[in-house]
Amino acid sequence: MSEDILLSVNHINVFHGSFQALWDISLAVKTGEIVAIIGANRAGKSTLLDTISGLAHPASGSVEFDGKDISSTEPFDIVDLGISQVPEGREIFPDMTVFENLKIGSYNHKARTKRAQNLQLVYQLFPTLEERKSQLAKTLSGGEQQMLAIGRGLMSDPKLLLLDEMSLGLAPIIINELYKVLRKIREMGITILFVEQNVRLSLKQADRAYVIETGRVVLSGKASELREEEKVKKAYFGT
């Protein structure tokens, strides 16, 4: 794995109106890693992803991607730079077909030139989407809709894929299949940063993890080490 830092978040503070959601958050993601952000509901995990993807901007601190400061960059420009976010709740277009949803993911200039190539890649990862490419997205099962959301994210030709609560509301067998696909995505050279409430699963799948509580990073390290961390075991495993 490369030691190059692809994403660097440096002491950011983020507000929603007068409410401070993130407090002095710092983290780094190396090229080729799978990194997890774990914590309870309303810990600030989604706000962190939104700040990286430009949907929120830090009041102080900075976000750097591939050597460029993107702290005040708008979301559509961040997609062009190579960051794609798969949002919590999928947010697919229910009355459009599977193919139309995927096509929308390739709107940026770089991705448009590779649309056919990336579409075949998505179909290789998720053969079901090719089988159902003419179906309306709302007719898919929950797991298939999550596949579609991930596929749409991949259509933008990202260097970094952000995933927000990928396993939410899905059966364990589907969750396991999706995480197998994540490893294949990493093998393709795409770095992954994901948010997950299921701590056991996160620490099994990730290389490293950051634990967030009430908007602050309280622990970080190799996933294998965090599994044995007493604070994590007591707070999340009940042991």
Assessment of whether the complete model's pTM goes beyond 0.75: yes
The predicted-structure confidence for 173-199, as pLDDT tens digits, reads as follows 999 999 999 999 999 999 999 998 888
The predicted-structure confidence for 118-160, as pLDDT tens digits, reads as follows 999 999 999 999 999 999 999 999 999 999 999 999 999 999 9
Residues 6+ apart with CB under 8 A from 208: 33, 35, 36, 220, 221, 222, 223
Q: What is the mean pLDDT of the chain?
A: 93
pLDDT on residue 73: 97
Check residue 97 and report its DSSP letter.
B
Q: What is the mean pLDDT of residues 191-220?
A: 93
The tokens 């809709």 sit on which residue?
Answer: 145
pLDDT on residue 239: 57
Question: Cβ(34)–Cβ(206) under 8 Å?
Answer: yes
Q: Which domains does the chain have, with CATH numbers?
A: 1-82+159-169+190-239 (3.40.50.300)
Instruction: Give the model's confidence band at 237: pLDDT under 50 very low, under 70 low, under 90 confident, else very high.
Output: low
Question: Cβ(146)–Cβ(90) under 8 Å?
Answer: yes
Residues 22-33 as b or e (16 or more Cβ within 10 Å = b): beebebbbbbbb
Report the percent of the chain where pLDDT is more than 90. 82
Residues 6+ apart with CB under 8 A from 51: 9, 12, 14, 22, 57, 58, 63
How many CB atoms are located within 10 Å of the residue 135 CB? 14
Question: Cβ(212)–Cβ(37) under 8 Å?
Answer: yes
The predicted-structure confidence for 74-87, as pLDDT tens digits, reads as follows 999 999 999 999 99
Question: Cβ(68)–Cβ(52) under 8 Å?
Answer: no
Report the percent of the chain where pLDDT is more than 70. 97
Question: Cβ(205)–Cβ(225) under 8 Å?
Answer: no
pLDDT on residue 238: 61
Tokens representing 30? Answer: 């190396």
C-alpha closest to that of 82 among 23, 17, 29:
29
How many CB atoms are located within 10 Å of the residue 93 CB? 14
pLDDT exceeds cutoff 60 at 43: yes
Q: What is the mean pLDDT of residues 2-23?
A: 93
For residue 151, count CB atoms less than 10 angstroms from its CB and return exposed for 0-12, middle for 13-18, buried for 19 or more. buried
Tokens representing 227? Answer: 């599994």
